[in-house]
Amino acid sequence: MKFPHGPAWVLLSLIPWASPSALAASEPQVREFLLDNGLKLLVQEDHRAPAVVSQVWYKVGASYEYGGITGISHMLEHMMFKGTAKHPPGEFSRIIAANGGRENAFTGEDYTAYFQTLEKSRLPVSFELEADRMRNLKLLEPEFAKEQQVVLEERRLRTDDQPRAKMQEHFDALAFTNSPYKNPVIGWPDDVAGLKVDDLKAWYGQWYAPNNATVVVVGDVDSDEVYKQAKKYFAPLKPSKLAPLKPQREVEQLGERRMTVKLPAKLPYLAMAYKVPVLNTVTEDWEAYALEVAAGILDGGNSSRLSSRLVRGQQIAASAGAGYDLYARMNKLFTLEGTPAQGKTVAELEKALSEEVRRLREEPVSADELQRVKAQVLAGHVYQLDSMFYQAMQLGMAETVGLGWKKVQEYVDKVNAVTAEQVQKVAQKYLIENRLSVAHLDPQPLPEGMPAPEESPAMGGGHVR
């Protein structure tokens, strides 16, 4: 999870200075149920509005894939709307809309999730439809052939025509040697084009089972009644025998990696990343939370170091950012990125970003700055609690990557406990040259008549759909 951007930081700007303890919010209560077939149900009552969010999370995503079938999880996500014997293609979305709801889905590196937002009395509609397609999906060749072209076009729009997205794809493949995180969630073009409907049938049969799913419900509901409805619709489904995953841990990096990507583009761009552990792989939890705070120190709103020093102070960057995701199955990247200001070079921006990392390693963060970052984290957390969808997403993600939903409730206390010494220690241990990968986007002339791709908003991110 990256530090929140946008609305969370806007909210913070409206809050007078406050200590982390003053901002701490009480965590909502979650009830956990387990059906006999292995399906897990998490219910969090939130009675502020007569609505409910229902999400179904499957433990399968891009990081479960291997060469030749990359993108299959995302492809299957598209096909999940193509109907069952009971509900023909298009019926799922039509029924949800007829009940005044909204529905969609997304695929990530470690999960695939489907969700609906409905008026609270309509929750059984969601459960009936999701239970039906969990085991009874019809994968037909004509529908697959059409959807395959849709996904290839989606890939062209999201990645192939977006120089930064395309560079990021190649950058991930540079940074990781054998970790499946080297593959794009949407899949490599030839792999997507080469998928067959039988591949999807095998993937669906292997992973779409009640004992590989978590249903998360947040809203104006009674948890006992939700459990009763879940048993009615999901309990009859038969579980599958799930084979354990083969280990795919990344091999040790032995030195800095570097690449230049040449693409038609208007502006240069820089991506840097250090290979770091996540909550699932650290030997001590505090390391992951210290990396989270380090990312906030660099890129936590207008007062952060990158904004105040590189964008406004030295005016070397038109934009600059940092990020870290502590909720993942395997080691990930601590990222830095930016666009040089007019008249500045990518090399100058790289030097400036490296200097900020050096300061994290060599200079303890001040008590005032650390306090401010923690307050920002809590402000973001308070803001997120206003969203039933985001609350459900946090629970589903933590559960599905193998941490367990209770980790979400530890977040505030763990971040609050981070010390300046711990931030310096993780910087010295992980933000070092032997873990570093660097990529420069070298803009090439745009074909005559082609609009500047940078003017299009970035699409996709860590999720696809």
| Residues with active-site annotation | 77
Tokens representing residue 293 in the block: 């705070």
Would you say 70 and 180 are in contact if contact means Cβ atoms under 8 Å apart? no
Q: 98 near 126, Cβ under 8 Å?
A: no
Beta strands in 194-281 (DSSP E): 213-219, 257-264, 269-276
Question: Residue 161 and residue 173: Cα distance in Å, rounded?
Answer: 18
Please give the angle made by the CA atoms of 26, 32 and 36, to the nearest 5 degrees: 180
| Cα dihedral 234, 235, 239, 242 in deg (nearest 10) | 70
- Residues 96, 106: contact at Cβ < 8 Å? no
Nearest 10 degrees: CA dihedral of 64, 195, 149, 182?
Answer: 40
Burial class from Cβ neighbours inside 10 Å (0-12, 13-18, 19+) for residue 462 reads middle
Return the bridge partners of 106, or none: 113
Task: Write down the residue that tokens 């970035």 correspond to.
Answer: 458
CA distance 35 to 131: 13
d(CA 96, CA 229): 17
DSSP-derived 3-state class of residue 432: coil
